[in-house]
Amino acid sequence: MPPSRDLRDHLRLLDERGLLVRVTRPMNKDTEIHPLVRWQFRGGIPEERRTAFLFEHVTDSKGKRYDIPVVVGALAASPLIYCLGMGCSEEEVGERWNHALAQPVEPVIIERGPVHDVVHTGAQLEAAGGLGMIPVPISTPGFDNAPYTTASHWITKDPQTGIRNSGNYRGQIKSPLRLGLFPSGLGQHIYLHWEKARAKGRPLEAAVVIGGPPVIAYATVQKVPFGVDELAVAGGLAGEPMELVRCKTVDLEVPATAEIVIEGRIDTTELEPEGPFGESHGYMHPRQLNPFMEVTAITHRRDAIYVSFISQVTPSESSVIKKVGYEPLFTRFLRDDLGLKSVVRVAMHEPLTNLRKLLVVQMAHPDEAEVWRALNGAAVFHPGVGKIIVAVDEDINPWDADAVFWAMCYRMKPHLDVQILRGRSKGHAPPFAGTSEAEERVSYDLAADDSAMLVNAILKEPYPPISLPKREFMENARKIWQELNLPELTPRQPWHGYSLGQWDEELDEEARLAIEGEHYRTGEKLRRRRRPAE
């Protein structure tokens, strides 16, 4: 199945699969939309039952009714939704990403596209209300100080090379024609473009894309090397070039089938306070001095749809996007680039945020040197990634926190199996410095004042079997459970017993005799082995 060519094809597919909830009652974008969708992440709804929500009648706290509906969760409320957007199964995601990164497909520029069905520029843009015409929801009502765009892809070009970059950043609605930008770290590629434009004494042109083909969203949030065009990577994911059209007021190209595009110029002479906002690390990110964009045009499709996603404490839609797409690349780095064939997979087991601070590396029969190479490799894969990194055996489910902590408690000795790496960057995470008005600055706490903990929780010697019934008995019991129409089971590893090396044929024979009712024979054998008490 090919990836969806645009957002609308994707929504039709979700609708057909029962993965789109249409909400027809009026919904206040400032107080109701995000809290409602957040409940499916915080209300115990299983991951596989999470859906996208399409709000067809959107209002705001002043009673304004919008012509543009809002969709939340359409990109990755669940791994299934993400995979439908990619046009492949979850098992094929890693292969699809490997292919796209190795063989990106350059976009093609066409003359016209539906994103230019309606064009607002100049006086007409102001008369239409500018950014106020777009129903941008408030993500964290009660804490956020404005509506912020979330699933917003900022396209810029390197002022020196002309190479495009697309990155996903929040955008604070500050006025009808001004959008705040949070580059989220000095290493982000848009910030590097901004610095180059500042050195040349000119503003940085930008286009904010909302609602393009899903593969563009997935490529935009991915970590690719500086100088690689994410739109070409999206073409690699799709197996065909992305079609772009030229912007109306800036020298950039945007997806022809995008729902909404905001064009403008990012000032490089001044900064202004931006935030606070409920960020992906799970805390309110404080106000800081940041760049801002002066809006020069808004273009959109006829009957446009606004796309938003939840990225704060949940688990969230953005965490699913990064987990499903990023884990295969992380695994590939350790297995192929570092040559660690014992690595089975890497789990980004951090369900409340999407910043990949807790990593679990699952390995199959590694030696001691391989374990530490894998742990150190995971620590340097990307700045700010990996604060606690744990290596576990193949029988430990790396996404099950109980199983991971069980392995840590019984398969490692802290004084031998824990290493601390000092001089690490804290990255995008609290606590924050310089939050007062006088101290606001472009500072993202990237100083090397943090550390990482590497934990070797791999078995190092034979262990007795897992103290659960053997697999065949558990499988038979499950059949009986189903015959009785008891609630559906979701097995969690370990769900049956198995040997970890400290077991022999005699003990196995005694267990066989027991299930055959011949345990007295074992009792007699043990009687013959009596010794005097001393």
DSSP sequence for 42-97: HS---GGG--EEEESSEE-TT--B-SS-EEESTTTSSHHHHHHHHTS-GGGHHHHH
Convert the pLDDT of each residue in 451-465 to its tens digit: 889 999 999 988 878
Q: Which of 209-213, 369-373, 428-432 has the lowest mean pLDDT?
A: 428-432
Instruction: Please state the pTM of the whole predicted model.
Output: 0.75
Residue 324 burial (C-beta neighbours within 10 Å; 0-12, 13-18, 19+): buried
499 pLDDT higher than 90: no
Token output for 161:
């090379």
Q: Is 397 helix (H, G, I), strand (E, B) or coil?
A: coil
- What pLDDT, on a 0 to 100 scale, did the predictor assign at position 349? 65
Residue 26's alpha-carbon distances to 29, 32, 40, 106, 272, in angstroms, are 9, 10, 19, 42, 35
100 versus 224: the higher-pLDDT residue is: 100
Which parts of 155-229 fold into alpha helices (H)? 189-199, 214-220
Computed over every residue of the chain, the mean pLDDT equals 86
Convert the pLDDT of each residue in 344-387 to its tens digit: 988 876 544 444 688 999 999 999 999 999 999 888 776 667 78
Convert the pLDDT of each residue in 433-447 to its tens digit: 655 444 444 444 445
- What pLDDT, on a 0 to 100 scale, did the predictor assign at position 438? 40
All domains in the chain, ordered by first residue: 90-308 (2.30.110.10), 338-456 (3.40.1670.10), 471-527 (no CATH)
Cis peptide before 276 (omega within 30 of 0): yes
Token output for 211:
């609602």
282 versus 14: the higher-pLDDT residue is: 14
Q: Which long-range contacts (CB under 8 A, 24 or more apart) does 471-475 make?
A: 471/496, 471/497, 471/498
Percent of the chain with pLDDT strictly greater than 70: 88
Q: Tell me, what DSSP letter sits at residue 131?
A: G
Please list, in sequence order, all residues whose beta carbon lies within 8 angstroms of the beta carbon of residue 122, skipping any fewer than 6 positions away.
none
Supply the angle between the helices 93-102 and 230-238 in degrees, to the nearest 10: 130
Convert the pLDDT of each residue in 150-172 to its tens digit: 999 999 999 999 999 999 999 99
Contact 52, 58 (CB under 8 A): no
